[in-house]
Structure 1
């Protein structure tokens, strides 16, 4: 059952429309600045001085005005911030993705059964001074598993997690539907939130707008949508990864040029920035900054409206993928920091194998497929998000499609505009956007369910969930989730990814590398991650 209240509709829209997973900053109404602690003109934009008693200033290339509700956000900025503000029972290392004890005292040693028990860390408190209890844990998981509440996190847990029960004030039990060892790493996606704060009327809408109260090493000090969010070290934090910076100021600068300028030169106003444009890498290195990348799932994908002819024909979708000169795209638009997709998964994913259908550049095959489908004089408008690197890639798509006789028009616009049209079920032909499920983990089962499923928003946008091939695919996906043997599960996932590749309903064109730059004279312990945002839980002043 789906929640169809207006508030639920907002929540359903929020996690994609304001999504860092879509690789773009969202634009919320200025009315949301009501949750800000001051007008934008008075906000601290960072002096860049840093130092042991100074403020760490970071530049994030995504908007801070997306949803901050940890149960349903995919916003790059808020997900990164929430990893510093909140804790899960377990959290995962940002690079290896290995789980470690966060609010819980230890990682269970036996994952073969259907019951996991956790003891909460003694003395753990929320930022308002109230203790963290089992009631808070149950409160969060009840929301995630509630069939009447549509959240992003539901897709990560509902398939395998039956219930979460309170044993006593500091102990809880997770009851699984079947053994599911992969679920242990997903517990970081269930950030524990104070029941006494977020059970109040209207509190979930406040969370969407930016209210954040957790038990992590940093507390949110102020939040100014479209400008910056500030943090302070939480003095009563007694967990494993303590705050190294007394204060942090994260600026949201979506446009590439001012973002690069903020970290450049002798008067730089920040010590670290993510989402570095490829064209600026050498410039920043020459100025003394360290610039490193992380290759992962970050991708440009195409999504077809399968209710709009001729995109209901798999041959047409395949033809348009075969027609794209991906080598040129990687060379010109990505400056070599990417690879043509050979599977839905990127090549470094543990579950990767080349798909049976690989869309190498083959314009003659593309023409043949269009002819077989009886398609002539096709005209396409590509509805695209205006993320800078996506916009850089679009001319290659247009030139490639024009070359096979498909008259192509580019229509890049704000992410909110694109997905408002999706939510309103407006007609479209093809969407080009960015996605990076690695924000949620490396688990192939999780990644595929994020993108495909009978009640998945993406499949609703593509109008494909009712297709007979889709129905068989979703059954295969569920069977793979339940498979106990790890090797067999991996093969089953790879097999159904072959179907996803063949159907090309929502499919990546290229996987790219994300770049982070920082001042090594001021910061130590930085690790570039292959998904948007930054993680400073193991960083410190140099």
Structure 2
């Protein structure tokens, strides 16, 4: 099927629009018992998830692929991004916020909103949820995403006032970075809350067993725009690609993410399958404070050495696009970078010679994700042909990052996709280049002049909008392409498959995870 824009197919847009229409016909307080005709309200949605479960569900710091996808269904922000279309919609807010003066937003909560334990959502819960993310002591991963906020105050029991430090054009797109939690539940036992969260979303989390399954139950007290259309959901955690495909073909599950590239044609013959062009990338990052990659010429030589046609064609069966900027070409804010690393082994050799390092012994670290393991030997082959003598170190992601954080990395390739948090260029750059662990202790670029310039560009862009904002982002993209402290090699296509005879309203997301918001099982 033909894709429109950033990984969103015509079918996905139609399904999302249809789901919204159905919900609003039924009214904002519609429960799953009032689902549209042809949908079984007593059905169970069965799905297969590709990634392992680890870490907390507490939205203060939950960042794993699985926990984020779970939280789409369990928690709500004042405004959330639709996981499929990436468009903002009023979730816990009664309506989309509008500023009175460009700095102040008065936001009323939707009527009847309650947490999964039956307690009412209050303005105090909203203030608490924002304050703990904004508190530097909490070390929240999402603090930089809402750094534009100056204060959050309760106006009344069901109304808050958010004041920003400056006019911020992405206000509504960014509010969903903070999910609203029950102050009472968190303060009673934060650890227990992280394991068994209490949200306001259409589904309740019943149990979560690593390497096994996650079980959800419909929240019949839900009063928002995305009521659950099934009685419950079971997400089977199936890391093995073949087992995931077998689960779909046997009818054990109704949808799977991350269809193995080698199985795409076979799966498409028996199920609905779409490839979404994602932001998700394979990046290379370097220890920029240690030889040899403290020299930008050596970092650039690394990129010029890579035969991306072979890496993508052989290693990924053409299911990716070579990076020509920080963003993929399908992104609405794409700008071709000042430096595009076409395959040029002679230029790579010349840069190494200019840097005084024509022959280098390096260790290339890599995570052990299946498709990353497939391309790592091809990357080694390209590097070895220009003068790098490459030793591969492939290992489990957690262990590899442990070595990175201990300062044991020269260069590492790994996958990443912060678009699960949002899709605007600022949030995507803030994840890797913001005031956090990445530039400080991983690729160790935070003390450089390049980093200071980049930070200044991002701060300026936050205060602008439209063409002026885009121009600052373009400067940032250009700078990153020249300095390449951490930079994409490619952007992946994500094949998702599902049984269209069983699921109604399903569409793949252009990131990791699956969304069943507005999705039901056919009678």
Tell me the TM-score normalised to structure 1 length: 0.87
Q: Which runs of 5+ in 1 are unaligned?
A: 1-49
The match for 2:27 is none
The normalised TM-score by structure 2 is 0.90
Structure 1 stretch displaced more, 69-78 or 338-347:
69-78
The structure 2 residue matched to 1:268, chosen from 222, 237, 251, is 251
Is 1:406 equivalent to 2:388 in the alignment? Answer: yes
Distance (Å, rounded) in 1 between the aligned partners of 2:458 and 2:241? 39
Partner of 1:163: 151
Per-residue deviation, 1:540: 1.3
Aligned residues: 484
Taking only aligned residues, the RMSD between alpha carbons, in angstroms, comes to 1.5
- Residue by residue over 1:477-530, the C-alpha shift from the partner in whole angstroms, topping out at 9 and shown as x without a partner, is 2122122x4210111111121111100110000111111110111112111111
Which of residues 44, 51, 59 is equivalent to 1:62?
A: 51
Equivalent in the alignment of 1:134 = 123
Correspondence list, 1:419-438, <5 A = 419-423=401-405, 425-438=406-419
Once the two structures are superposed, residues 298-334 of structure 1 have per-residue CA deviations (whole angstroms, 9 ceiling, x without a partner) of 1100000112201000000000000000011111122
CA contact (8 A) 1:65 1:226 kept: no
- Provide structure 2 residue ranges, at least 5 long, that are not aligned to the other structure: 1-38
Deviations 1:411-448, CA, capped at 9 Å, x for gaps: 1111110112233x232111110011211122101111
Q: Secondary structure at the match of 2:223?
A: coil
1:84-483 residue pairs with structure 2 within 5 A? 84-110=73-99, 113-158=102-147, 160-201=148-189, 203=190, 205-208=191-194, 210-264=195-249, 267-286=250-269, 288-423=270-405, 425-483=406-464
Flag as ranges the 4+ runs of structure 1 deviating above 2 A. 50-54, 108-112, 205-208, 453-460
Deviation at 1:110, TM superposition (A): 4.3
In structure 2, what is the Cα distance between the partners aligned to 1:78 and 1:373?
44
Render the CA deviation track for 1:164-199: whole Å, top value 9, x for unaligned. 100011000111000102021111121111001001
Q: Shift of the alpha carbon at 1:355?
A: 0.2
Whether the aligned pair in 2 keeps the contact of 1:64 and 1:228 (CA below 8 Å) is no
Distance 1:329 1:61 in 2: 23
Q: Distance in 1 between matches of 2:294 and 2:108?
A: 52
Structure-2 change in CA distance of 1:259 and 1:295 (3 Å) = same
Determine if contact 1:293/1:529 at 8 Å carries over to the other structure.
Answer: no
- Indicate if the aligned counterparts of 1:452 and 1:459 stay in contact, CA closer than 8 A: no
Counterpart residue number, 1:36: none
Deviation at 1:459, TM superposition (A): 4.0
Q: Residue 513 of structure 1 is aligned with which of 485, 493, 504?
A: 493
Counterpart Cα distance in 1 of 2:436 and 2:91: 32
